[in-house]
Structure 1
């Protein structure tokens, strides 16, 4: 079937959790540029909302860790625009923490944000999407930590691994009306993350990534457009890696370093 413009979302509505900054902001602006009506959420409205081509996202305050707030968010988006076609579960993250000493409250909050919240919002979105002729698409933004945990990320890695399993489970239950897919992100250069990548903002890390650079938020946004669009109409339960090929093996980097010194 020929598609005139596979990334034209005119007449469709997208909801992006955590869509006011970083990856979420780029995703929101990509859908706006593609013609969609976009709703973003956060616990506080930013000074500047995502915008593209003279159009601006609608903001709704919500703590998506609260099931009632998650449902109200979805209802508000559907009522505002009359439908909901795309949900991007982007809200998440965690500071590094020592697993031996981290508090139970910290663990609970990290799991709630990175696993339970996407579940709550997806449940509410499914109730709307399954009644629509074209159904809908849910995209969960995950992390390479689900596959390859790093020190200081025990709770986060466990939650993200759960998100990947949740994606596959929902894809089984909700198809064919609602497709559910997952994106595995690696190192992404965002304003908030850059300080954590060292004094150069992560420039040196490019040497450990096969693609030769860190991802930009727009790289993840483009993947969302694909998974939500008609080109991916038969893609369901997938885990799309957007990490530039991952990271080069430590043994290879050690050999290169030794060769450079010698």
Structure 2
């Protein structure tokens, strides 16, 4: 993570980040720490090193986000340790590529549990605590462009993320005004596992050229939006789906019409 001053002060606030020990989640956890918040990260296995920033380190709690009992136990742990919960970031998720025609029922069920039901369970658990606080709270769901456009090879994941977007809008209506709920529609992100999806450095650079801003996102790009949505600066933002994808992807017809994406027409 690149250390940078954060204009948002979350001192005294508490954030829970699911899957917060690696990848995008680690970037989110470190940005919250840098902003002054206490941070709890949860996952099935403890990371080798915990997220840290500004001389402060996150607290780890073991949890399988697909288990509703674990969700409530995790929020109870946060309450016992810090006495409050101001921000929940439903970050844990993902799926390997698989052919839609041959994906097993067991695989599809597991993907939907991880990417849709888990966030619902954690939101329900957070509601109990946030709704009792005078200051309420903020829930940020890490969604994906897969939920708003076709995603061949990721049918269950895409459907789950589309469901997460609907979940976000519905909870914003049901739980407002005390709890704000928003989603970040994330595009392609360069993490420590980017090579598994995009190949070597040349492949990653080539993919970046198809994005209007000229590169894939870094975890910090997503993390900064999370901190904004958890802060008073977003006090009138709820039920929103914020696109953080660098401007989107070059349309296929432009690639077909011009083999050089750097000089393809944009209209």
- 1:76 maps to 77
- The secondary structure found in structure 2 opposite 1:97 is coil
What is the CA–CA distance in structure 1 between the aligned matches of 2:208 and 2:55, rounded to whole Å?
Answer: 34
- 1:236 maps to 238
Q: Which moved further from structure 2: 156-165 or 144-153?
A: 144-153
Pick closer, same or farther for the CA change 1:28–1:258 going to 2, 3 Å.
Answer: closer
- 2:132 maps to 131
Decide whether the 8 Å contact of 1:19 with 1:25 is kept in 2: yes
- 2:198 maps to 197
What is the CA–CA distance in structure 2 between the aligned matches of 1:185 and 1:151, rounded to whole Å?
Answer: 17
> C-alpha displacement at 1:6, in angstroms?
6.1
Length-normalised TM-score, structure 2? 0.93
> C-alpha displacement at 1:7, in angstroms?
1.1
Moved over 4 A (4+): none
- The secondary structure found in structure 2 opposite 1:171 is helix
- The secondary structure found in structure 2 opposite 1:16 is strand
- 1:216 maps to 218
Length-normalised TM-score, structure 1? 0.95
- 2:60 maps to 59
Structure 2 segments unaligned to the other structure (5+ residues): 1-5
> C-alpha displacement at 1:54, in angstroms?
0.9
Decide whether the 8 Å contact of 1:87 with 1:137 is kept in 2: yes
> C-alpha displacement at 1:255, in angstroms?
2.0
Q: Which moved further from structure 2: 127-136 or 250-259?
A: 250-259
Decide whether the 8 Å contact of 1:20 with 1:46 is kept in 2: yes
> C-alpha displacement at 1:258, in angstroms?
6.9
- 2:169 maps to 168
Structure 1 segments unaligned to the other structure (5+ residues): none
What is the CA–CA distance in structure 2 between the aligned matches of 1:7 and 1:243, rounded to whole Å?
Answer: 22
- 1:94 maps to 95
Structural RMSD (CA): 1.4
What is the CA–CA distance in structure 2 between the aligned matches of 1:213 and 1:99, rounded to whole Å?
Answer: 29
What is the CA–CA distance in structure 2 between the aligned matches of 1:206 and 1:111, rounded to whole Å?
Answer: 29
- The secondary structure found in structure 2 opposite 1:10 is coil
What is the CA–CA distance in structure 2 between the aligned matches of 1:196 and 1:129, rounded to whole Å?
Answer: 37
The count of aligned residue pairs is 256
What is the CA–CA distance in structure 1 between the aligned matches of 2:208 and 2:260, rounded to whole Å?
Answer: 19
What is the CA–CA distance in structure 2 between the aligned matches of 1:218 and 1:75, rounded to whole Å?
Answer: 28
Decide whether the 8 Å contact of 1:6 with 1:229 is kept in 2: no
